[in-house]
Structure 1
Amino acid sequence: MSNIFTMCFVENNSQLLLQKRVKKPFKGLWNAPGGKVETYESPIEACKREIQEETGLDIDNVNFRGILTVTNENQKSSDVLMLFHTKEFSGSLCGSEEGEIDWVETEKIYSYDNTPESFTYLLPYILETDSTLTGKMIYSRKKLELFDINV
């Protein structure tokens, strides 16, 4: 059975909210916050809950941006990653046990060595279009083998 996860791109002018992961996958790398959709939760409810728990921010006007399947060689099925984006939030920023949180200049993200390769591929589709995305990511030996996206 597949797991369903959310990832939310929280944008503040020319900055993006990133989290330094303390767990696998991508332990030690900076990525957009999000997490698993729990039983009886809709994806948007999970997205809002995860952002609040992990960053201290309450997000509004959250836009659904797409859905990707994510598979690695050890899985018997693909996970589902639901993508969201917002520029509206309130509250005070704070980290959690999930990892350090910080606002990062968007342009710097593309030259970072400490973000997942798939994240830098995905970022322009989220920030530079309003389209809904579908696609897949396939990993082999912890390396991105295929990134296929449709706009």
Structure 2
Amino acid sequence: MQGYNVVMVFSPDTTRLLMCKRRKDPYKGLSNLVGGKIEKDEPGLEAAYRELQEETGISKEAITLLHVMDFTYYLQDCYVEVYAGRLKYEVCVSGDENELYWSELDFNFFDMSLYAGEGNIGHMFEQVKLSRAAILDHDHNND
């Protein structure tokens, strides 16, 4: 079974979410979260930090990621690990794979005409809101 990850990166003040506009299928032209493939025998958290660095230039030192949830798609023979974190400080993001941008949080992330993943981004966002204290409001100075 192939593993993938998605990473929800929030700005230091937690008012924005890092998104990308997909340049290729699936979901070409739709907004998505950053992430990618988990390599064989690679621990999930390491893969999340690696993909984040590769796709955005954000280093492990700039953010603490927490494992939020997983999705298993048995019929597609794959699973997705979801990570979230808040940047410790402002960073300049850059990547070649997709166009990166900071989104405000007052959008309907369930809108499948704008966002990839059949509503999963909305679901992930709502789960992060439910666990905000654990995910976004913890003390970054003790990381």
Which stretches in structure 1 are left out of the alignment for 5+ residues?
132-151
Query: 2:131: which partner in 1?
Result: 129
Q: Which of 25-34 and 87-96 deviates more?
A: 87-96
Aligned residues: 126
- Which amino acid is 1:63 matched to? L
Pair 1:66–1:7, CA change in 2 (3 A) = same
Q: Which structure carries more helix by proportion?
A: 2
Distance 2:108 2:93 in 1: 20
- TM-score normalised by L of structure 2: 0.76
TM norm structure 1:
0.72
Q: Which residue is 1:63 aligned to?
A: 66
Aligned residue number for residue 92 of structure 1: 92
What letter matches 1:100 in structure 2?
A: E
What does residue range 108-147 of structure 1 map to in structure 2 within 5 Å? Answer: 108-110=107-109, 113-116=113-116, 117-129=119-131
Percent of residue pairs bearing the same amino acid type:
26
Q: Please, which runs of 5 or more residues in structure 2 have no aligned partner?
A: 134-143
Structure 1, residues 26-83: CA drift from partner, whole Å, max 9, x if none? Answer: 22111110000113421111111111111111143210101111356xx4x3x11001
The Cα shift of 1:111 comes to: 7.6
- Stretches of 4+ aligned residues off by more than 6 angstroms: none
Inter-partner Cα distance in structure 2 for 1:71 and 1:119: 19
